[in-house]
Amino acid sequence: MKETIKEQVLRIRKDESKIVSVLIGTPYHSRIEPDCSRCIAQLGGIPGFKFYTSQVKGSNIHILRNKLYKELLETECDLFLGVDADTAFTPQNFLQLYKQHTEKNLPLVFGVYSLKGTNFLDAGKFKSGFPGEIGDRFLQSSGGLNKVDWTGMGFYIITRSLVEKIGSPWFDGPSYKRSDGSVDTAQDDISFCLRLKRRNEKILVDCDCKVEHLYRPDEINGVASVALTQELWKDVISGVEHLSYKKAKAILTEMSLQLKPQLKTDFSA
């Protein structure tokens, strides 16, 4: 009978003389989803590991992720498990990543989740090699360990030694030029992956470790409302040089309210 992932990891752990200490870091803006909290609590039942948690709140994700890595280096933890506040997972998901880390000597490995409202995983290649321009993505049916240019950071493990090697600041939102010559600022996950690529570190996702990307109460069937909001902002501020934030927000809110019923229909599939 084929060994389960848990049995494989337990066999690996028998050959190690010490408990592996893991810091679970969760950045959040408004709240940590209840399902996410329950999943974190379930990790405590895995033998051979000691889990600690750090949950930091704020509006700047770069600052939050940097703070979590600084906290890691102030502890004696061997591993960091990154868990976003809208992620749900099982102990088996963690064990799958730990198995990859141990058997293949990987200091960093990512699990993957779907981009909400799509059939794609949040990982893939840059378009034509340009940072930040999204090209090929993996389908939800994809499997195995894959090398990528970027990935979402909702669920991953990284060793303390690699965090020390990369050095602070780990997340800095660097600017980069697009293929059309325009300049943009990288999001937190893109900026981290760019930093890794510049250091020739491998960015690997285990497509056999799929976790859930939870819908928040203010989302309509995933990120449809978020994507729409971003487009509305572009429409509101384009061509209006001195539009105040208060007025722009009022216009955007009114437009969003008008389009909510339509979104419930259009994105129900």
Q: DSSP readout, 132-152?
A: T-EEEEEETT--SEEE-SEE-
The predicted structure's pLDDT at residue 250: 57
User: Do 124 and 149 form a contact (C-beta atoms < 8 A)?
Assistant: yes
Quote the pLDDT of residue 105: 95
pLDDT value of residue 167: 93
Domain boundaries, the chain: 5-213, 224-266
Q: Architecture of domain 5-213 in CATH?
A: Alpha-Beta Complex (3.90)
pLDDT at 174: 64
Q: 181 is written with which tokens?
A: 């010559």
CB 111 within 8 A of CB 97: yes
Do the beta carbons of residue 229 and residue 172 sit within 8 Å? Answer: no
Exposure of 109 by Cβ count < 10 A (0-12 exposed, 13-18 middle, 19+ buried)? Answer: buried
| Average pLDDT by stretches of 10, the chain with 269 residues | 68 69 93 93 92 92 93 95 95 95 96 86 86 83 94 96 94 73 77 89 96 72 45 45 48 53 38
Q: Distance between CA 185 and CA 4 in Å, rounded?
A: 43
pLDDT of residue 117: 72
Q: Which residue(s) pair with 134 in the sheet?
A: 126
Give the pLDDT of residue 17: 57
Give ∠ CA 185-116-177 in degrees, rounded to 5.
Answer: 15
